Each structure stands twice: as structure tokens, then as C-alpha cells.
Structure 1
Amino acid sequence: MPINAQLTFIGGAGQVTGSCYLVELNNKKVLLDCGMVQGSDQIREWHKFRFQFKPKDIDAVILSHAHIDHSGLLPLLVAKGFHGKIYCTKGTAELLPVLLKDSVHLYLKDLEWKNRRAARAGKKELPAVMQLSDAERVIELCEPLPYNKRTVPMPGMELEFNDAGHILGSAIVQLWLKGKQGMRHLVFSGDLGNPATVLMNDPAEIAHADLVLMESTYGDRNHQDVEHTVAEFAAALEDAYQAGGNVYIPAFALGRSQEILYYLGVLYHQGKLKQKVVFLDSPMAISITEIYDRFFHSMDPDDTRLLKQQNVRDLASFLPILKLSETVEDSMAINRFKQGAIIIAGSGMCNGGRIVHHFKHNLWKNSNHLIFVGFQAQGTLGRRLVDGEQRIKLFGQDIVVKAKVHTIGGFSAHAGQSELLQWAGAIGGQPQFWLVHGEPKAQQALQQAMQQQGMAVEIAEQGQQISL
């Protein structure tokens, strides 16, 4: 029997970033995620952005995990009038203050710089659309919940988080929507983890569902196995060492940086790491690594066993040549190292952060090497470099790209096609699948593969509304 509920695909449909879905049930409105679209000019994106609903009318937000493309619009949502609860896992609640405050701080800093240029040119300055206080208010509204425990966020709705195995605190969202005439079981995969990813547990299996929103980032391909990936990573590092330059690794502060530190530690203890120093050039990544250390007890025991064998219980101690670059002065001082250094810095898709400053000083030197270890979305500088662009513009300057570019896909924290098919195939009942969070090519390939296994699959379109 039908219930009085509907779902609208607000964002994360036909693209990888900007995850946001509106569930309407019995005159209540709930958002699944509230993420930013990443790429291009973020100031312009913030200021032209308009919610497709009134934020004050949203009763609650259910957050799958802390990545900015899933959580980054929450400060703006609050600034525009939202005052309901934000349901998330305990790990996500720990990470959100670091990510959201940093995101808003960078926005305000970039806005100040842009307004200074506008003032000099006699142009109108832009007012800020949000403040740090809005990010702080988001934290106050968070309602942290444990995995595998049902709760009732509002009448007619039950909620349970299960481990998605993607990053610390990442969750598969299960919703049971009840009306006078029936019930529907909705599952939102969030971002499903790659079982080969270190530190994280494997994604939880879901027993039953009526409707599934499933991510499809790597729906058209599988990742190579982790042994080959680490061997490829080690070969790229050796290549860079022999070339006599430095290695620059753009990495997200959350998840990827910790994974790279782990594998650098493994190579160090195996005697395979020739470089003499590793810089973690990101205050945010440093803070997040400390949070990961606090959740050490809940991580994959097979991966943490190696750290225990070295008599350490944190990632920093696992890599003795690691140096933490917290201040801008620390970051600038890295330029004194002309060879034998590995620099890990954000942002992961090279849209900003300290990595672009390193690019300005180092991309034009053919002795340097650039290693991409994560997905690069369309429209980002990282994607342009991966695609082989020979000249880029940074800070108003033309930069020729002579550094050698390596792309290593096996480190992905997203499930590949075979893992997505396995996860979907384990769900009981006869669920209707809707593919989200992926580019069209990947979604079409995954849809075809799922249909060949007898699954009912549609590709979500932005703005599309379906009845539950």
C-alpha cells in the first residue's frame, strides 16, 4: 500500500559531488546529506547558489559522512534559517568541526581577497553569505548516533546507521517510512568503501530494502588489487627519487591522507622508502589524523595489527620521518628542500589549499613528480593535470607543466564496480535501485551490469521527483 511520501533528487545526480536528497513524509521534510558541488570558482558558486527549498522548512538532516561534498552546505543551510537536528554517526560528529570551520574560514579569506581587488577597481564588494558562527551552530545541532541502533527522529520514521567502510564515521543510511496505509524501507548507500582500503572495516550488508539510492562513482571499472597498487606507488616514489626531485601528493585531509601515511609507513619499515622526509602539509589533515588515532580501537584489526607489531598506536609514530607542517611558515619552508622529500597537501582535487602554492613553485621542474591517489572530478585542476594539460594558470601566472604526473587509482576509498554489484546483490527483497553520485558514463555502465543480474535500476536526474 502507498504511503504519503516522496523523494526529490536535489544534488549528486548525474555528477559525483553535491550529494543532497529531499525526503517528504507526512508533511515533514528531511534532507539526506547537504553537500557542496566541487570545482570551478567556489566564491562564485557560493554566491549564486540557491536552495531548491526553504531551509527553515527542513525538519532534520541525516548525514551519511563528513566529506565536504556531502556536508559542505550545512553552514549555509543554517545561515538561511535551518534549525532542526542533524543526525550523524559519532565519528562524523568528531570530524565535522574540523572540516566545516576550515571550509568557511577559507571562503571568508578568499572573499576578503576578492573584495580587496574589487575595491581597488572601484567595483562593488560582496557581502558574506555565512560566518564561522554558522559552522559552529551546525556542530551544536548534531545528534550523534552509534552504528546498528535504530532511533526515531520523528513520528513515522525510523533511522539506523550502518558502517559504510569509506572513511571514519561513514554510514549507510536505513530509513523505515511509515504512513497510515503502509511502510517503505529506503536505503541510502552514502559512499561505499573499497574493502581493500586500510583502517576501515568492510561495508555492512543490508538484509532488505524497497528502494535503494546507490553511489556509482566507479560504476564503470574495478580497482586493481592493493598489492599491485602499493607496488605501483613504490615504483613512482623510486622513479622520483632517481630523478633527483620531490614528490607532491594532492590528498584530501580526510581519509586519503591517513591511508597514504599508512602505506608510506609500510614502505619505510620494509626499507623501500628512499626519501628522507615526509611532510604532512595540512593543519586539517594533522587534526583529522589525531581524531583517527582516537578511534583506533574500532578500525580494521588486520590493518591496525601492523602498527601494534611496531609498538605504536598512532599513524605519526608509524612513520618516523614524518614532519607536521602546521603554519604557513612551515609550509613555505618546505621549498628549501630541493630533493628527497614527499609533500602531502590539500586540496585533493587541487582546487585550492597549500598544494597549489607548491605547484606554482614546482610544476615547471622536470625533476619533480606529482602523484594523484584519488578521484579527480570534472572541472577541477586535478582532472586537467591528470588529462595531460601542458599549461595552467595559477595566481594569475602561466605555469608550464614539466613535472611527471602519475595516476594511481587503486587507493580509492570508493567501491569499484564488482564491489558495488556484490553489495547490491546481497540486498533481499526486490528493491528498486536509483543510481546517484556518479558521472553519466559510470552510471550507464553500472546500470547495464546490474540489469544483467536482474536488478531494477534507474539513473537519477537532478530535480527528478519520485513517489514512495
Structure 2
Amino acid sequence: MSVTLRFCGAARTVTGSCYLVETASGRFLIDCGLFQGQKTLKELNYGAFPFRPADIRAVLLTHAHIDHSGMLPKLVREGFDGSILATRGTIDLCSWMLPDAGNIQEAEVASLNRRNAARGRSEVTPIYTQADAVASLQSFRPVDYESWIDVIPGVRARYWNAGHLLGSASVEIEFANAAPSGRPLRLLASGDIGPEAKLLQPDPKAPSGFDYVISESTYGDRIRAPTTPQQRRERLAAEVREAASARGALLIPAFAVERTQELLVDLVALMERGDVPAAPIFLDSPLAIGATDVFRKHAASLDADVDINRIFSSPHLRFTETVNESKAIAKLTGFHIVIAASGMCDAGRIRHHLKRWLWNSRATVLLVGYQAHGTLGRFLQDGAKAVRIQGEEIRVAARIRMIDEYSGHADGAEVARWIAARRPIERGLFLVHGEEEAIAGLAGRVAERIIPAARIYQPMLDDVYELAAAEPRLLDGERRHRLAPEAVTHLDWHNDMSRLILDINDQVRAAADDRSRGVIIRRLRRALENTG
């Protein structure tokens, strides 16, 4: 039986996780996520899927994060009528996250269309609406960990706790009679792997002995210093005390699910013990507030040492659901903490807080998660002196800080140990969900020591492999790449344009006098005229 695997996302990039599996009995997807980051990648969300949604029989969803689940409403709207198979924790989170994503897209497009109208540009439409997202929830079907389920004829799957997020899973898939010997062909899709000793979640778990493993590599080239819960809290406490001494806002762009709840647990504990100054903690995200209720519901499955209900009822917490409540935060001038999405600063309410505070040296921005290439968060992490937010130039005077102890992803050494525990891996290891440097770093870490280098594959976006042969074969004749490789792996012209505009403004402002500024402007005009 032929088994092909197409990498429709998260190939040489972190977002857009989506893998199309095709056998003689049908097609199914592993994840169906939203591309995030640079505009060239995000534009893929607006285009056609690289397959017909009506042909897809099922979706095996590893977890609720939007880069894994965020295109499901569009998939359903465009003809998919199968089942989305996910754990109960994932379904409960998606019931908040997908409608929130639709609402954000509607709001973002409305704002963009107002700017486009003023510039004489045509209107755009959202990828999907909140109503589309709500409708897609009817397609979800719950699965239990470690229990076999039928996917399509001849294919069954089993979910294992990945330790990354409430409900997250690695998915074991078995294809009947697909190996050359006539035995079942076995594949494991990692999903996102949580770090060892993660707050709230257990260590990742999965069986061993596979033909193929698809492994994430988000932090494949990084090794974190060993840490304990106490050391993590001490590091956070130091950042909070420093921010408090500046007497401005501490802004924490955080992913609304899991990262936010972990931060709340530690911030409340630090304030209760007097390790940091007491201050209001604003959870300025309807999604994060809803997700926090989901965590309350699943408290029994979380770390038994954490009293979730007591912490989330702390008087230090302020939940701001409405737009007016969010705007009221801007009236505060002293030390306070704002946790808001998105974690990469590319959407949501955090951008309004950044516009309010980035130019102010009394403010602190604390990055606590992965920042993809081309995102506002990545530019801040890399030390940008000025950024553009919703078309406005904002100078960066705030302190930009980064701590990695709250990452939901295993580092390179932890992923390597996870891969080693899956041995024997007979035919191939596919490294996905990482930028080029991270994938190369993980490949170097596992090559020969864990798996022969010849069995390690680093697929490009839209590569198709035949898996049923003695070794995976790239089907060159079926390549239909939506983007050139360099468009996936490098910053695009949108980023270059923003940087150029900022550089021009810097040069004009730095000129000695109006005559010098006029010279710069005339040279730029001549350069533009000479390109015609």
C-alpha cells in the first residue's frame, strides 16, 4: 500500500503545522495550523489549501495552539466534513481559542480596511470569521490518551501525552500491511514536546520502535541551563523587582494558554511571599481568561502541588475582558503588570500597550517565549531601536528583557533524548517545526550518535515523500511549492521595507540642517526614478 506524506506547513519554519497523509483508502491531516511571522508566510493563510478540503477524511490534532489548529475553521468552511480527533483538554481549549482567533481576524481586517480606504487601496476579507470558528467546533470528536482509534480504513492512531500544553499529544499512527514485509508501517508525529519538569504538565510520554518519526525542532540548536522551580521563580522575581524600581509598566506578551497560567502561578506566589512588590496583575485577554477557566476545569489532571483555584482567585489579579476595561489600564502610571496576547506581539491587545509604553524608559517588556522570524517580538528581542506598529513608528526606550524558563518546548538536548527513547527508528527521522539553524542544530546533535545521518530528513515546504518503500523517497515529479525556499527561511521584502523606512527617518533626522535633509530626499527620489 502506498503511503505519502506532504509537508504543508512547519517545514523550515516554526508555524503552520500541517501534514497531509495519503493512502489508497483516503487522505487525512496531522494538524491544520495558521502561519505566523513574516507577511509572505501569513499570506499563505489567505490562499487556497494545497489540497481539496472535501477530500480530507479526518484531522489528527496534536494540540490547541493556533499554529497547529488555527486553520481548522477555514478547512471546515471550504468543504471538510470529517472528524477532528483531539483530546478533551484540546477540545475545551479550542472552544475558546478558535472563536477568539476568528474575532481577532475580523477586528484586524476591519482596522486594516480603514487604513486601506484612506490610502485608496482595495478591501481584504478575513481568513475566517468568529462564526466560522464556532461552526467548526461541531466537527471535534474526543479521544483518550493511550487508546487506539480508527482513522480511515487500514489506519489507526493512538495519542500520548506530549507534556507541552493541557491536552497536548504525540500521535502514533499505524498503517496496516504498508511495510515491504507486509507488516504494519508505524509512524510517530511528535506534536510539540514539552521540557522535562515543566510546571503544570507531566513529562512527555510515547512508545518506541517506529519506521518514521516526525519531530519538532523549535529549540534544536539551544541548550538551557538546568533549572528548578525555585530558580525559575528567582529569575522572574529579579525581573519584576527591576521593573518595579523603574516605576513603570511591566508588559509581558504571553501566549494565552499555559504560558499565561504558569506566569500567574509564579507571580501570585512571589507576591504572597513578599519576594516582589505587590502590584495589580492585569490579565488583559478574553482568551486567556477563558483558558484559565478551562485550567480550573482540568485541575485534577495538572500538577497536584499547585492549588489552581486558590491562585486564580488571588486579589492581586485583575481580569479585563472588555475593550473599555483594557483601555482603562492606559490611565495607570506607576508600577503594574500587564499580561496580554499575542506572545510574539503580532496581534491582540499587547500591541496597544506597547504603543503606550515602548518609548518610555520607565517601562519593561519581558519576553517569555519563542519569537518567530519577522514578528514584532523578534525585532524587539534582537535590539531594534524603533519599530512600526499598525503603521506608526515607535522608538524603543523601554528595557527589553528575555527569560526562557517558561518555554513550553524542550530544548535541543531534551528533544534528542526524546528521539533516542523512540528507537529503533528504522527508516527515517523528519525534522520539522523549526527554523533552519534550529533544525541543523538538532540534526547535528542526533546524527550517528542516535540515528544514522543518512536517515535524517529536513523537508522543505510542500515536499512529498513516499513512505512505503524501503526508504523514504522524495517525489520530485509531484513538487508543487507555493513559495521559493528562500521566501520561507529569510526575512521578506515587507520586513526590509519597514527597516528601510525607519533607516530613512533616522538619516533625515540626523542630518545637520534642512539643506542636508533636502539632499538626502532628492537622492532617494532620483534612485526611485532610475528604477523605472
Query: With structure 1 as the length reference, what TM-score do the two structures score?
Result: 0.94
CA deviations over 1:354-410 (Å, ceiling 9, x no partner): 111011111111111110000100000000000000111223322111110111012
- 3-state SS in 2 of match to 1:441: helix
Q: CA shift at 1:129, angstroms?
A: 4.8
Say if 1:187 and 1:258 are closer, same or farther in 2 by CA, change over 3 A: same
Equivalent of 1:97, from 95, 98, 113?
A: 95
After TM superposition, list the pairs within 5 Å mapping 1:45-56 onto structure 2: 45=43, 48-56=46-54
Q: Name the counterpart of 2:209.
A: 208
8 Å contact from structure 1 (residues 209, 430) kept in 2: yes
Q: Name the counterpart of 1:190.
A: 191
Q: Name the counterpart of 2:147.
A: 149
Equivalent of 2:422, from 418, 427, 440?
A: 427
Q: Name the counterpart of 1:244.
A: 247
Larger mean CA deviation between 197-206 and 426-435 belongs to 426-435
Q: Name the counterpart of 1:437.
A: 433
Equivalent of 1:378, from 331, 348, 373?
A: 373
Equivalent of 1:110, from 101, 108, 111?
A: 108
8 Å contact from structure 2 (residues 58, 83) kept in 1: yes
Q: Name the counterpart of 1:343.
A: 338
Q: Name the counterpart of 2:473.
A: none
Amino acid corresponding to residue 201 of structure 1 in structure 2: P
After TM superposition, list the pairs within 5 Å mapping 1:47-446 onto structure 2: 48-179=46-177, 181-224=182-225, 225-226=227-228, 227-301=230-304, 303-304=305-306, 307=307, 313-317=309-313, 319-431=314-426, 432-446=428-442
Larger mean CA deviation between 28-37 and 201-210 belongs to 201-210
Say if 1:364 and 1:444 are closer, same or farther in 2 by CA, change over 3 A: same
CA deviations over 1:279-299 (Å, ceiling 9, x no partner): 111111000001001101011
8 Å contact from structure 2 (residues 83, 140) kept in 1: yes
CA distance in 2, matches of 1:44, 1:211: 29
- 3-state SS in 1 of match to 2:293: helix
CA distance in 2, matches of 1:218, 1:187: 19
CA deviations over 1:310-363 (Å, ceiling 9, x no partner): xx634412x431111111111111122212211101111000111110111111
Larger mean CA deviation between 183-192 and 147-156 belongs to 147-156
8 Å contact from structure 2 (residues 432, 458) kept in 1: yes
CA deviations over 1:254-278 (Å, ceiling 9, x no partner): 1110010011122123211214211
Q: CA shift at 1:228, angstroms?
A: 3.5
Q: CA shift at 1:445, angstroms?
A: 1.1
Larger mean CA deviation between 73-82 and 177-186 belongs to 177-186
Q: CA shift at 1:122, angstroms?
A: 4.8
Q: Name the counterpart of 1:453.
A: 449
Say if 1:42 and 1:141 are closer, same or farther in 2 by CA, change over 3 A: farther
8 Å contact from structure 1 (residues 207, 428) kept in 2: yes
Q: CA shift at 1:115, angstroms?
A: 3.0
Amino acid corresponding to residue 312 of structure 2 in structure 1: A
More contact order relative to length (CA 8 Å, sep ≥ 6): 1
Q: CA shift at 1:106, angstroms?
A: 1.4
Q: CA shift at 1:48, angstroms?
A: 4.2
CA distance in 2, matches of 1:88, 1:415: 22
Q: CA shift at 1:109, angstroms?
A: 2.0
CA distance in 2, matches of 1:103, 1:55: 20
CA distance in 2, matches of 1:88, 1:47: 22
8 Å contact from structure 1 (residues 164, 190) kept in 2: yes
8 Å contact from structure 2 (residues 102, 131) kept in 1: no
Say if 1:154 and 1:269 are closer, same or farther in 2 by CA, change over 3 A: same
Larger mean CA deviation between 220-229 and 85-94 belongs to 220-229
Q: Name the counterpart of 2:495.
A: none
CA distance in 2, matches of 1:187, 1:344: 35
Larger mean CA deviation between 229-238 and 142-151 belongs to 229-238
Q: CA shift at 1:121, angstroms?
A: 4.8
CA distance in 1, matches of 2:101, 2:137: 14
- 3-state SS in 2 of match to 1:165: coil
Q: CA shift at 1:84, angstroms?
A: 1.0
Amino acid corresponding to residue 323 of structure 2 in structure 1: V
Larger mean CA deviation between 115-124 and 231-240 belongs to 115-124
8 Å contact from structure 2 (residues 12, 436) kept in 1: yes
CA deviations over 1:49-78 (Å, ceiling 9, x no partner): 221111111111110001000011111111
Q: Which runs of 5+ in 1 are unaligned?
A: none
- 3-state SS in 1 of match to 2:425: coil
Higher Cα Rg, which structure: 2
Q: Name the counterpart of 2:9.
A: 11
CA distance in 2, matches of 1:461, 1:44: 17
Say if 1:198 and 1:273 are closer, same or farther in 2 by CA, change over 3 A: same
Query: With structure 2 as the length reference, what TM-score do the two structures score?
Result: 0.83
The runs of at least 4 aligned residues of structure 1 exceeding 6 Å deviation read none
Say if 1:99 and 1:33 are closer, same or farther in 2 by CA, change over 3 A: same
Say if 1:44 and 1:124 are closer, same or farther in 2 by CA, change over 3 A: farther
Q: What is the number of equivalent residue pairs in this alignment? A: 458
CA distance in 2, matches of 1:20, 1:236: 37
CA distance in 2, matches of 1:19, 1:383: 20
- 3-state SS in 2 of match to 1:192: coil
- 3-state SS in 2 of match to 1:410: coil
Q: CA shift at 1:430, angstroms?
A: 3.0
- 3-state SS in 2 of match to 1:174: strand
8 Å contact from structure 1 (residues 275, 342) kept in 2: no
- 3-state SS in 2 of match to 1:11: coil
CA distance in 1, matches of 2:296, 2:364: 30
- 3-state SS in 1 of match to 2:176: strand
Q: Name the counterpart of 2:504.
A: none
Q: CA shift at 1:186, angstroms?
A: 0.6
CA distance in 2, matches of 1:231, 1:429: 40
Larger mean CA deviation between 331-340 and 182-191 belongs to 331-340
- 3-state SS in 2 of match to 1:359: helix
Say if 1:315 and 1:157 are closer, same or farther in 2 by CA, change over 3 A: farther
8 Å contact from structure 1 (residues 5, 467) kept in 2: yes
